[in-house]
């Protein structure tokens, strides 16, 4: 445990966990074995870091012959909200904000400066880029890729199984959502399995997206249809961000 | 507490609670009085089992003259995820998986081999069958029945009050959703009060279901309309599961 | 700590916190510095009260020059559910029910006799009236106003940024939802930014509301269109409530 780091009450720090300098941990924080926390990280009350996944007997993910997961890694200057759960095998870059009650699963990576909102779920085998905003309650399914500068609004749902749990065939086709650089998805929208949202595209609030969305294109409705082009002033290249 | 059972730190086991053999409890687990946990159960950090319900003054459920709730019961080989809350009067069969942050209320029963996803809510007076999958963030309202082999996708919403909290009349008509054997509901779909989804029927992602759905029928859209028949190869009888 | 108040195990009560008479706190409850809890309050396990907000570097809310937040205030006869998180600067009136896993942010006020459902989020700078019901998983965005007697069904989503995180212009236009006295919103509905729902108006389940809704008007669909008038017997004035 690094110099200047403070702990609340009743924390549990398991063997081999490494915590950097000038961190602050709330009360009742649990850091599982081998987890690695960078410098200047603030962890709120009741957080669990480094949880080992447990498989349901009927889970599509089974661990036979898989190597042991690497430890959870949290970069420097991160903030982790109350009641959040971060699994072993999750890697969080620097300056990431994880809000209260979020869950980040194993085999997930989160790019720097990304905001993971309250109660967001990021399922396993998923990559989230840098400077994204995943807003409250949104659900990112397994096998998804979200590139840099994406905006996923509250209560967005993504899916990865067109067969809703039936047929052996489905195991060949599991595919999450892909959101290209600067893609944005409005509140409460639903993405069907395997959908790709193009760079700087926009999905309107409440849309149900059944087909890929071309870059710089706005879609709305149920099912989603093309509504127009992304407004010039909203294009990523016109934000002066880089 | 049975032989071979291990506890994390700062657990609270109240009087009369019974925990079987070869269980493992994480840290900060709270097992309330009289709860009964079977053998080989794994309980993650910060779980609360056997919580007594508290009523809001204006709750439609009041406890006048009702008998005391029986204890929470968790069957053998179950897995309970971090931050989950299981109430007194909830009965969980064997081989059930309850993911992180799920809440199972009083007067709920969960059949064997069912998966209750992350942050799922199952409200009171509800029966969930065997071998179901209730996926992340789905909401099962009070007075619902989900039979065996059902699939409820992420962010599905069910309702039980057509009067949205008005009129005395409404108290006679509260009714949740009924999903018959093998019924499946797609991501983000909304079920109106009292709806019945027939055996092996399918509700498309994002649909708003305002009428009962016949067995082996697929509905989609807002409001939901018949789209076709459930594909042969997706019928329950063609899965080779039993 | 008032007379007759009881604490579970491993609670953390920080300096300057005031807890009234005849309260009961579960185990692992954390009451941060200066928080004020009224009489007869029941707080379930793992609750966090008085959490200080932490800002992401890229949050639209920055604290430069802002005065320190006042303490969290919880009125008499309130019930706070397991795993709930209540921020410093949140004020909760009397007889309020906050269910499990709810989050109430800073600069939020909740009127008396209101029910805040399980996993509800109320974001900052938001006012909730008296005798409202905010149901399971609903999301109330920042800069919103919900007046008295409103009903917000499960999984309702509200939004406040028409620009989905782009342009400097957007900072001038952030606006949440306004729901006038007795307004009701059905399950899974989505409100676009700045929408006003009139007094005693009703939004149907699954609707996507893109325009203001007039008082005593029912809207349904995607996008929402007028369906008719609120039924006489459902008007607030005909409930005999006051």
What pLDDT is attached to residue B176?
A: 96
pLDDT in tens, A93-124: 999 999 999 999 999 999 999 999 999 999 99
CB of C65 closer than 8 Å to CB of C49: no
Neighbours of A52 (CB within 10 A): 15
| Phi-psi group of B104: left, alpha or beta (phi > 0 → left; psi -120 to 50 → alpha; rest → beta) | beta
Asked if A111 and A93 touch (Cβ cutoff 8 Å), the reply is yes
Question: At CB < 8 Å, which residues of chain A contact B?
Answer: 10, 12, 28, 30, 46, 48, 51, 54-59, 83, 85, 101, 103, 119, 121, 123, 137, 139, 141, 155, 157-159, 163-167, 169, 188, 190, 192, 208, 222
Is there a contact between A101 and B101 if contact means CB atoms under 8 Å apart?
yes
pLDDT at C173: 86
| B173 pLDDT tier (thresholds 50, 70, 90) | confident
C24-25 and C42-43 as β-strands: parallel, antiparallel, unpaired? Answer: parallel
Contact between B109 and B128 under an 8 Å Cβ cutoff? The reply is: yes
Residues in chain B whose Cβ is within 8 Å of chain C = 10, 12, 28, 30, 46, 48, 51, 54-59, 83, 85, 101, 103, 119, 121, 123, 137, 139, 141, 155, 157-159, 163-167, 169, 188, 190, 192, 208, 222
> Residue B194 — very low, low, confident or very high, per pLDDT cuts 50/70/90?
very high
Contact B185, B151 (CB under 8 A): yes
- Tokens at B217, concatenated: 């029928």
Average pLDDT over every residue of B212-237: 97
Rounded to whole angstroms, the Cα distance separating B106 from C104 reads: 25
What pLDDT, on the 0 to 100 scale, is given for residue C54?
A: 85
Is residue B55 pLDDT above 70, yes or no?
yes
pLDDT value, residue A54: 85
Three-class DSSP category at C23: coil
- Percent of chain A, pLDDT > 90? 87
Question: What is the rounded average pLDDT of the residues B124-145?
Answer: 98
ipTM: 0.94
First-to-last C-alpha distance (Å) of chain C: 35
Distance separating alpha carbons of residues B122 and B152, to the nearest angstrom: 12
Phi, psi angles (nearest 5°) of residue C79: -125, 130
Looking at residue B132, its pLDDT comes to: 98
Identify each DSSP E strand in C59-114 by its residue range: 73-74, 79-80, 85-87, 90-92, 97-98, 103-104, 108-110
Across chain C, mean pLDDT equals: 95
pLDDT band at B62 (very low <50, low <70, confident <90, very high): low
Digit-by-digit pLDDT tens for chain C (242 residues) are 899 999 999 999 999 999 999 999 999 999 999 999 999 999 999 999 999 998 766 666 666 656 689 999 999 999 999 999 999 999 999 999 999 999 999 999 999 999 999 999 999 999 999 999 999 999 999 999 999 999 999 999 999 998 899 988 888 888 999 999 999 999 999 999 999 999 999 999 999 999 999 999 999 999 999 999 999 999 999 998 86
**Spatial distance between the Cα atoms of C196 and B109, rounded to a whole number of angstroms:** 41
Q: Which two tokens stand for residue A51?
A: 């949880």
């Amino acid at each position: 445990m690094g110099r200047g780091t403070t702990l609340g009450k009743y924390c549990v720090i398991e063997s081999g966990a490494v915590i950097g300098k000038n961190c602050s941990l709330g009360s009742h924080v649990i850091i599982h074995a081998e987890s690695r926390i960078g410098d200047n990280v603030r962890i709120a009350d009741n957080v669990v870091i480094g949880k080992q996944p447990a498989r349901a007997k009927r889970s599509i993910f089974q661990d036979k012959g898989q190597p042991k997961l690497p430890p959870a890694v949290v970069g420097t200057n991160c903030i982790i909200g109350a009641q959040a759960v971060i699994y072993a095998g999750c890697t969080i870059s620097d300056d990431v904000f994880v809000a209260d009650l979020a869950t980040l699963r194993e085999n997930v990576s989160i790019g720097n400066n990304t905001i993971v909102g309250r109660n967001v779920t990021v399922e396993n085998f998923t990559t989230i880029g840098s400077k994204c905003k995943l807003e409250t309650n949104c659900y990112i399914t397994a096998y998804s890729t979200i590139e840099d500068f994406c905006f996923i609004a509250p209560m967005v749902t993504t899916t990865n199984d067109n067969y809703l749990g039936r047929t052996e065939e489905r195991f060949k086709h599991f595919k999450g959502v892909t959101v290209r650089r600067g893609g944005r998805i409005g509140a409460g929208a639903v993405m069907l399995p395997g959908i790709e949202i193009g760079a700087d595209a926009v999905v309107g609030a409440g849309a149900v997206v059944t087909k890929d969305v071309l870059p710089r294109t706005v879609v709305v409705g149920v099912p989603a249809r093309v509504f127009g082009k992304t407004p010039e002033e909203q294009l990523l290249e016109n934000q002066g961000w880089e």
